[in-house]
């Protein structure tokens, strides 16, 4: 897991893609960030915040593990939701291994929910098997966890059950050892110090979108898009970033701006601090809110997010 370790000789190296599937809010983004040791995917208590397939990269001995953080799988209604779910299933089809992540606290309360059953059924149709990771075990009593794990293990799709806590790191070492052993032989596809394939401009947009979710505690428009309009390198080593926050209605713009511009200033300050820490350089961030009616029906927006418009 040492990012400074050199790549092994081609004959000894291993490399594989691992898709992390799960219902919305199962903790996929938190898990990816914990595994790679850096923030590459946004985290929010709101559901359905991951929209595109993001890659997180880590090394485990001679193996390079390339994690695909997919959008949550649920019953889609709108075009954007259908595109998100399709992206998740495409990630599963392309991966060497699949990890099904389940919120243990929620499962202890309601059992195998409809979204998780949908994923299990979909994997069965694809004739794929998966490792099950029961997440958030720190929030569930042991006497509840063991029967729950046994219930999931009865499903023929599940090869093995792991108990983990993405937030604390419990159980992650055992899971990554298993995944490293399963990756096929082959050369590493990324440098040892790279933790994501996400372009800097898109990463910056994702950081701002995360702050929109975190700072707006009232009813929040999910039909929101953040685009990095310009990225200017400065002579002092800093960077000037201008972004547009697209909303679909004037009422949504008012929510994002807040009274006297209070909310947008808070969003910008938090995003600026986060980006400065991640990029390790001064960041000058300028945010603009624009009403773009029907942006979620425009094909160009989908290309920006790496989604298929005709889903």
CATH number, domain at 263? 3.30.300.20
Residues 132 and 212 in one domain: no
Look at strands 54-60 and 63-69 and give their pairing. antiparallel
Residues 68 and 209 in one domain: no
Determine the Cα–Cα distance for residues 226 and 218; give it in Å rounded to an integer. 19
∠ CA(167), CA(171), CA(176), 5° rounding?
105
pLDDT at 214: 84
Residues 277 and 132 in one domain: no
Domain holding 275, by residue range, is 200-305
Query: What burial class does residue 45 get, using C-beta atoms within 10 Å of its C-beta: 0-12 exposed, 13-18 middle, 19+ buried?
Result: exposed
| Better-predicted residue by pLDDT, 15 or 55 | 15
Half-sphere exposure of 151 (CA within 13 A, CB side): 15
Summarize the confidence of residues 223-246 as an average pLDDT.
91
Q: How many CB atoms lie within 10 A of CB 93?
A: 11
Residues 54 and 167 in one domain: yes
Integer angstrom CA distances of residue 237 from 66, 232, 234, 262: 31, 10, 6, 29
- Helices then strands (H, E): number in the chain? 10, 9
3: its two tokens:
């990012």
CA torsion sign for 52, 189, 125, 148 is negative
Summarize the confidence of residues 132-153 as an average pLDDT.
93
Classified as helix, coil or strand, 165 is strand
∠ CA(272), CA(278), CA(283), 5° rounding?
35
> For residues 159 and 126, is the Cβ–Cβ distance under 8 A?
no
63: its two tokens:
């193996």
Element (H, E) at 58: strand 54-60
Phi, psi of 40 (to 5 degrees): -125, -10
Within a domain: 188? no
pLDDT at 119 over 80: yes
The rounded mean pLDDT for the chain is 83
- What's the total number of domains in the chain? 2
Determine the Cα–Cα distance for residues 134 and 167; give it in Å rounded to an integer. 13
Winning range, highest mean pLDDT, from 8-22, 45-59, 90-104, 253-267: 253-267
pLDDT at 171: 95
The residue from 115, 147, 182 where one domain ends is: 182
pLDDT at 24: 76
């Amino acid at each position: 897991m040492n990012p400074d370790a050199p790549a092994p000789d081609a004959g000894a190296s291993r490399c594989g893609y691992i898709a992390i599937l799960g219902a919305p809010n199962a903790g996929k983004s938190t898990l990816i960030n914990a595994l790679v040791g850096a923030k590459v995917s946004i985290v929010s208590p709101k559901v359905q915040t991951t929209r595109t397939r993001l890659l997180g990269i880590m090394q485990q001995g001679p193996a390079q593990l390339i994690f695909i953080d997919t959008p949550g799988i649920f019953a889609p209604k709108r075009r954007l939701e259908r595109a998100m779910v399709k992206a998740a299933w495409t990630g599963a089809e392309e991966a060497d291994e699949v990890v099904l992540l389940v919120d243990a606290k929620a499962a202890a309360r309601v059992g195998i929910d409809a979204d998780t059953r949908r994923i299990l059924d979909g994997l069965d149709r694809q004739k794929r098997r998966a490792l099950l990771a029961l997440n958030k075990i720190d929030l569930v009593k042991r006497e509840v966890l063991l029967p729950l794990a046994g219930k999931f293990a009865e499903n023929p799709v599940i090869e093995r059950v792991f108990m983990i806590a993405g937030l604390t790191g419990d159980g992650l070492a055992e899971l990554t050892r298993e995944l490293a052993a399963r990756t096929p032989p082959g050369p590493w596809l990324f440098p040892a110090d790279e933790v994501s394939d996400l372009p800097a401009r898109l990463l910056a947009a994702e950081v701002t979108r995360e702050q929109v979710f975190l700072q707006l505690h009232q009813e929040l428009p999910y039909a929101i898009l953040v685009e990095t309009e310009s990225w200017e390198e400065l002579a002092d080593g800093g960077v000037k970033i201008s972004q547009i926050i697209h909303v679909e209605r004037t009422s949504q713009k008012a929510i994002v701006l807040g009274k006297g511009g209070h909310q947008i200033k808070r969003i910008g300050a938090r995003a600026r601090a986060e980006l400065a820490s991640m990029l390790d350089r001064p960041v000058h961030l300028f945010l603009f809110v624009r009403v773009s009616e029907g942006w979620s029906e425009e094909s160009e927006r989908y290309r920006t997010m790496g989604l298929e418009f005709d889903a």
